[in-house]
Amino acid sequence: MKLHWLVALATIVLASSFLVQAQPVVWRVFSDPSPSIDKALCTCLSGDNVYVIGVENGSTGRIEVRDKNTGNLIKVWRGKGEFYTCTVTGGTLYVGGGNVLATFSLELYEKGRVKLDYAVMQVATDGEYLYIAGWKRLRGNDTAWVIEKRDPALKLVKRYLYNPSIGDEWAWGVGVNPATGELWVVGELYNASSKRLAAREGRALILNRELELQRELKIGGEAALAVAFDENGSAYILTAGDILKLSKAGEVQVASSEGLRPGWLLQPERFFNYILFRDLAEVSYSFFDDDDLYNFTNRADFPLGCGITLQGYFYLFSGELVDNRSNHALYVYDENLKNIFSFTLGGEAERDYEFPTGLAVTDGLNLYVAGSDCAKQGREGAKYDCRWVVYALRPAFPVNVTSNAPVRLAGAGWYSPRETVRITAPLTVEALPGVRYVFRMWKVEKPTWSASQVNPSLEFAVDAPANLTAVYARQYRVEVVSPSALLRSLVRGEGWYDEGAMATLGIRSAEVYFSGNTTLDFCTNSGCSRALFEGWYKDGKLLSNDLSIVILPVNEPMELEARWRVQHYVSVITVHSSAVGEGWYDNGSYATVKLATTDVDAGLVTHRFERWEGLEAGDIIVERGTVKVLVNKPRSLVAVWREDYTRAYLLLGLLLAVIAVAVFAVKARKRAPGAR
């Protein structure tokens, strides 16, 4: 049991070691000071602190200061004022909301506040002065943009009023272009003289820091809500339906091609409420007073979200609709405003997540943003309970690594933009016997393009989410079983084949002569073997007896048998008599070698068979002169004969006896002369 746990733990450790530690959410904290509506509406940065401003319990101002690195709460301020915009400069936190501007020390001691005669929408700073954009109701339905420059003590330096029509003009955002030092103010013209003829138009103004108008830009048919800049001074304008990128001179360069589709970024219900509210605002305008102004802005929290640029990307914090509920989501746009990535930040069932419209902030490394999530409370969900949600996020893209081969490749995980991915795929992956995978290419798929490379070592700088696939060809081994290495060497076409490919196997010749391990062009009998091709077999069944065979498709490991009839030559040499049995015999059989006669009479001498030279273990002597030879290789038998001289000796003896008798007779005649 313990071992199982250890194994499981080891597996988890192994699995997690393949993830690069750069997940987007550095921290996320909640703040829920009341059982009612608590909403975070803006974030600001200073040193190691992140300031989050918003409201608690519906309408009480709330400012939190948190540790930038951990999200831990350091201090809270509560008081009068519904603040929804902030900026920090010169050791002072400036906040604005409704018709109030207030200053705080970085330790959240209030230093002062001024009451304005207009509704403040957003504040920005050039590090020296404060710039405020808002709008003011002049008379009836005639409103105008108000742009103000104030010193660090909030003393008014200059005001610019923009009122091109007798209808409504609302300024929603302001920013100082870091490249030009110019002031950009964005907003809209809303001519509501009649419901049917209501016309909306986005506008941006470029002013110098003396608040002198430089350019007046038309920004499509939607309200321009916020403006952010990159290091080069390009402006990113968030509108109610789009993101636009403009040069620092104010030329529109590109618009987010797919637009911010209602139902995707704009939650339909809230969008509808927003439209409805705008219509209501039109008819009830005359009842608005200064307090109504900031109720209006507070309640008309556009569902669009907030954005910021960092290192060539535009990050939009907005919602995504899941099962009719909204989650917090991050959308990443590349420099051409192509949406290359979206990431769900958080969402719990039965809660609605939203971000305020405006700007997120960055310290060059992380992004900081605050929003809220709400749940219906009470009988029939009549009441809303919301809480703050604050995030620190590290821009990162997921890199997925997969393969069609059973191989585990390291390198998947989250990568920061421009971080280098390095993965090397093994050239071959062994699988089951007779099955292997051979690397073919890397397929690199990104949101805007895809490419492939055949080099197994992949290295590139991450600039978007990427799906990396190591593409392998599945191969099967086609093997040929042959009786010997020599015969196997005659087979062509054995080896690995891609799945589905065609394999052609062949034998060079149907008849092969050889001696030992050497093939011969011809054979002079003694010491020879030969093989006669009989056909291709699989699992003992004949497939073909042609010299070559085609397998199509190869879709499994295969073992074919090249069946041969192997024979050896049995040679018999005898100097006397004659022998039968010389010739070709199947390997493993017995050859019967027999002398015609074992004794050869040659006059005075008789040749007598004595033995066979060349016998080996396994041979069987049947009788004198007859032997069964085991043919497991070429065999050579030589009959050994013995000469039998018995007859010659006998004849010699007889001859000698005859001679002796003759000599005796001659001598006897000489001794008796008168015998005649």
| DSSP state string for 157-212 | EEEEEE--SSSEEEEEEEEE-TTT--EEEEEEEEE-SSSTT-EEEEEEEEE-TT--
Cβ-based nearer residue to Ca ion, 33 or 79:
33
In angstroms, what is the minimal distance from the CB of 323 to Ca ion?
A: 23
Binding string, residues 569-608; x marks residues near Ca ion by CB under 5 A? ----------------------------------------
Among 23, 59, 141, 163, interactor with Ca ion by CB under 5 A: 163
The Cα–Cα gap between 628 and 580 comes to 12
In angstroms, what is the minimal distance from the CB of 352 to Ca ion?
A: 13
Nearest to 341 by CA among 321, 372, 314, 322: 314
In angstroms, what is the minimal distance from the CB of 33 to Ca ion?
A: 7
Q: Is 201 in the site for Ca ion (CB under 5 A)?
A: no
Q: Which stretch binds Ca ion (CB under 5 A): 14-22, 161-169, 484-492, 620-628?
A: 161-169
The Cα–Cα gap between 125 and 103 comes to 13
Q: Is 515 in the site for Ca ion (CB under 5 A)?
A: no
Q: Which stretch binds Ca ion (CB under 5 A): 166-174, 211-219, 340-348, 513-521?
A: 166-174
In angstroms, what is the minimal distance from the CB of 377 to Ca ion?
A: 9
Query: What does the block give as tokens for 196?
Result: 């049917």
Cβ-based nearer residue to Ca ion, 162 or 439:
162
In angstroms, what is the minimal distance from the CB of 221 to Ca ion?
A: 18
Cβ-based nearer residue to Ca ion, 186 or 367:
186
Cβ-based nearer residue to Ca ion, 383 or 642:
383
The Cα–Cα gap between 125 and 359 comes to 14
Cβ-based nearer residue to Ca ion, 119 or 507:
119
| DSSP state string for 314-329 | EEEEEEEEETTEEEEE
Q: Which stretch binds Ca ion (CB under 5 A): 31-39, 257-265, 472-480, 524-532?
A: 31-39
Q: Is 38 in the site for Ca ion (CB under 5 A)?
A: yes
Cβ-based nearer residue to Ca ion, 165 or 626:
165
CB atoms < 10 A from the CB of 379, how many?
A: 6
The Cα–Cα gap between 183 and 234 comes to 13
CB-facing half-sphere around the CA of 308: CA atoms within 13 A: 22
Nearest to 505 by CA among 486, 481, 478: 478
Maximum distance among all alpha carbons in the chain? 203
The Cα–Cα gap between 171 and 157 comes to 19
Helix, strand, coil abundance in the chain, percent, nearest 5: 10, 55, 35
The Cα–Cα gap between 131 and 175 comes to 8
Query: What does the block give as tokens for 651?
Result: 């004849």
Cβ-based nearer residue to Ca ion, 385 or 445:
385
Cβ-based nearer residue to Ca ion, 288 or 584:
288
Q: Which stretch binds Ca ion (CB under 5 A): 35-43, 618-626, 646-654, 655-663?
A: 35-43
Q: Which stretch binds Ca ion (CB under 5 A): 7-15, 169-177, 252-260, 461-469?
A: 169-177
Specify which residues 76 forms β-bridges with.
Answer: 64
Q: Which stretch binds Ca ion (CB under 5 A): 26-34, 44-52, 279-287, 315-323?
A: 26-34
Interaction with Ca ion in 386-425: which residues (CB under 5 A)?
387
**Cis peptide preceding 557, ω within 30 of 0:** no
Contact at 8 Å (CB) between 65 and 51? yes
Cβ-based nearer residue to Ca ion, 33 or 426:
33
In angstroms, what is the minimal distance from the CB of 224 to Ca ion?
A: 16
Q: Which stretch binds Ca ion (CB under 5 A): 125-133, 156-164, 518-526, 589-597?
A: 156-164
Contact at 8 Å (CB) between 520 and 528? yes
Q: Is 282 in the site for Ca ion (CB under 5 A)?
A: no
Cβ-based nearer residue to Ca ion, 269 or 385:
385
Q: Which stretch binds Ca ion (CB under 5 A): 19-27, 180-188, 385-393, 413-421?
A: 385-393
Q: Is 32 in the site for Ca ion (CB under 5 A)?
A: yes
Q: Which stretch binds Ca ion (CB under 5 A): 97-105, 162-170, 285-293, 310-318?
A: 162-170
* 293 contacts: CB under 8 Å, gap ≥ 6: 98, 99, 119, 137
Binding string, residues 105-144; x marks residues near Ca ion by CB under 5 A? -------------------------------------x--
Cβ-based nearer residue to Ca ion, 165 or 484:
165
Cβ-based nearer residue to Ca ion, 34 or 60:
34
Cβ-based nearer residue to Ca ion, 374 or 531:
374
In angstroms, what is the minimal distance from the CB of 58 to Ca ion?
A: 9
The Cα–Cα gap between 636 and 632 comes to 12
Q: What is the DSSP letter of 263?
A: T
Which phi and psi (to 5°) does residue 615 adopt?
-75, 150
Cβ-based nearer residue to Ca ion, 56 or 619:
56
In angstroms, what is the minimal distance from the CB of 34 to Ca ion?
A: 5
The Cα–Cα gap between 651 and 649 comes to 5
Q: Is 385 in the site for Ca ion (CB under 5 A)?
A: yes
Nearest to 383 by CA among 37, 615, 18: 37
Quote the Cα angle for 117-121-127, to 5°.
100
Using DSSP bridges, classify how beta strands 466-481 and 397-403 pair: parallel, antiparallel or unpaired: parallel
Q: Which amino acid is at 594?
A: K
Nearest to 442 by CA among 421, 463, 461, 457: 457
The Cα–Cα gap between 673 and 143 comes to 193
In angstroms, what is the minimal distance from the CB of 162 to Ca ion?
A: 9
CA distances from 163 to 171, 293, 294 (A): 11, 18, 20
Binding string, residues 535-564; x marks residues near Ca ion by CB under 5 A? ------------------------------
Matching residue, tokens 């048919």: 221
Cβ-based nearer residue to Ca ion, 187 or 319:
187
In angstroms, what is the minimal distance from the CB of 201 to Ca ion?
A: 12
In angstroms, what is the minimal distance from the CB of 287 to Ca ion?
A: 19
Q: Give the interface size with Ca ion as a residue count (CB under 5 A).
A: 9
The Cα–Cα gap between 52 and 68 comes to 11
Residues that bind Ca ion (CB under 5 A): 32, 34, 38, 142, 163, 165, 169, 385, 387
